Amino acid sequence: MKKSADESALASENPVTFSALGERAQPPTIARLMTMALETPNLLSLAAGFTDNATLPVDFVRAATEAMLGNPGDREFIQYGTNQGRPRLRQLLAERLAKIEAKLDAAELSRGLFVTNGSQQALYLAMQVLGEPGDIILVDRPSYFVFLEMLTGLGLRAVSMPVDAAGKIDAPALGALLDSLASKGEMRKIRAVYFVSYFSNPSARSLDAAEKTSVAAELSARGLCIPVVEDTAYRELYYREAPAAPSVLSLPAWAKFPKLYTATLTKPFATGLKVGYGLCTDDAWLKKMLHVKGHHDFGSANFNQAILEHALVSGNYDRQLEQIRPAYERKMRALHETLVREGLPTLGWSWAEPTGGLYLWLKAPESLDTGLDSAFCRACLEAGVLYVPGELCFGDEAPKNFIRASFGVLNERDLAEAGRRFVSVVRRFV
């Protein structure tokens, strides 16, 4: 058989070429961090997003599996479930949310609720169905870095909502930004607004009701009724007091907007079970996400959903929250107080003490570059401590002088040691 010139050219190419559908190339940050961690013996990682090992609810997971598997006549837990998720679990979650936000109707919430492989999949589905390459997603500043990398992967452009010196969304500046996008003819490209609203990853900040309302007001004033995605992954991870701000689901200013509320059940329980959910108020958007989920995996693992269902019904889920809230506060303090005691604030660094979540968001003097390739980062690695460079957590115009330090996985002793190592490096860069 003869080959044409064209066919021979084809044969000599790399046969695996990739497409826009398959996301754009970009630096795989997590992979680099993990490689750094693996290559450094005795490293204490403040970078890992893992949760506390000591409080993982072995007993509560066992109570669930024993109850489920103890009756051999009932095997539905290990049979396929449905694409949208277990109806009873969806109902329980809707009721739980309606209890926190009294204005909400549980039956209505349950209809729009779908269970996912962690809340990450809900975020992915939301962005996959909304954006065309080149479209704009408005994001908080700083924002969740895996979300930002995902946007890049999908060819979407993150545009940060401006913040004031205290880190609050600056409504007039947001208005000016929107006007500037309008004047460039880019208004139609804005497809959604995204923020992590409670004890944010990475900033540990929560948005208050007025702040959320102000975003809606600036959008509404410009006729921009775009989908909003509120990522509430850390909402239940407060230390002492539940955050007061309602979600966009019940804030009047957001009433007319299509809304997606995302949350995880397993970040504050057992991360190895990976059950999250999205709750969508717009039928067309929901239908489209479920459609794509039908192709991703046609349903998250039924067994894991049933474990969470048991934990919620038995009260073990709330018992677990009661255990981990003070535990994470102690861990936060172990790191925070070490940094204070070692003198970090006297070296020009500042941060707010969190009241929930898993992160300290440290601001260094502006002259210090903390990036992955910086001398400072290398020195930290050599001293046996790793962090997430803050520059990864900005959708645009990333400053170099922030650091996300997670106290999720290390124990208190190691957190104190990591803090000491960290400040000892900082001293060398003053």
Nearest-approach distance from CB 208 to its own copies, in angstroms? 23
38 interacts with its own copies by CB under 8 A: no
Question: Please, what is the minimum distance in Å from the beta carbon of residue 229 to its own copies?
Answer: 12
Instruction: Tell the smallest beta-carbon distance from residue 228 to its own copies (Å).
Output: 10
Q: Does 375 bind its own copies (CB under 8 A)?
A: no
User: Does residue 279 contact residue 109 with C-beta atoms inside 8 Å?
Assistant: yes
Q: Which residues contact 370 (CB under 8 A, 6 or more apart)?
A: 364, 376, 377, 387, 389, 390, 391, 400, 401, 402, 403
User: Is residue 39 a contact residue for its own copies (CB under 8 A)?
Assistant: no
Q: How many residues bind its own copies (CB under 8 A)?
A: 104
Amino acid letter for position 168:
K
First and final C-alpha spacing in the chain? 71
Is 224 among the residues that bind its own copies (CB under 8 A)? yes
Instruction: Enumerate residues 400-419 that contact its own copies by CB under 8 A.
Output: none
Q: Is residue 255 within the footprint of its own copies (CB under 8 A)?
A: no
Please report whether residue 189 would count as binding its own copies according to CB under 8 A.
no
CB 341: neighbour CB atoms within 10 A?
12
CA distances from 419 to 281, 300, 426, 428 (A): 44, 39, 10, 15
Tell me which of 302, 316, 320, 406 binds its own copies, using CB under 8 A: 302
Residues 77-106 that bind its own copies (CB under 8 A): 77-83
Backbone dihedral angles phi then psi of residue 163, each to the nearest 5 degrees: -125, 160
Candidate list 298, 318, 350, 382; residue touching its own copies; CB under 8 A:
298
What is the footprint of its own copies within residues 126-145 (CB under 8 A)? 127-133, 135
Q: Which of 38, 39, 41, 58 binds its own copies (CB under 8 A)?
A: 58
CA distances from 85 to 60, 112, 290 (A): 21, 11, 10
For residue 66, the SS3 value is helix
Q: Are 379 and 425 in contact, with CB atoms under 8 Å apart?
A: yes
Residue 303 interacting with its own copies (CB under 8 A): yes
Residue in 100, 177, 226, 347 binding its own copies, rule: CB under 8 A: 226
Q: 115 or 344, CB closer to its own copies?
A: 115
Q: Does 341 bind its own copies (CB under 8 A)?
A: no
Among 214, 300, 401, 406, binds its own copies (CB under 8 A): 300
Place of tokens 């409504």: 171
From 35-43, 104-112, 217-225, 313-321, give the range in contact with its own copies by CB under 8 A.
Answer: 217-225
| Other beta carbons less than 10 A from residue 379's beta carbon | 15
Question: Contact between 149 and its own copies (CB under 8 A)?
Answer: yes
Does residue 65 bind its own copies (CB under 8 A)? yes
- Residue 348 as a binder of its own copies (CB under 8 A): the answer is no
Among 105, 164, 297, 396, binds its own copies (CB under 8 A): 297
Residue 350 near residue 367 (C-beta atoms within 8 A):
no
Burial class of residue 226 in the structure, from the number of CB atoms within 10 Å of its CB (0-12 exposed, 13-18 middle, 19+ buried) = middle
Binding to its own copies (CB under 8 A) within 230-249 occurs at none
Q: How many CB atoms lie within 10 A of CB 53?
A: 10
Minimum distance between the CB of residue 271 and its own copies, rounded to whole angstroms?
A: 4
Of 149 and 170, the one with the shorter C-beta distance to its own copies is 149
With CB under 8 A as the contact rule, the residue among 146, 177, 381, 398 that binds its own copies is 146
Q: Which residues contact 241 (CB under 8 A, 6 or more apart)?
A: 355
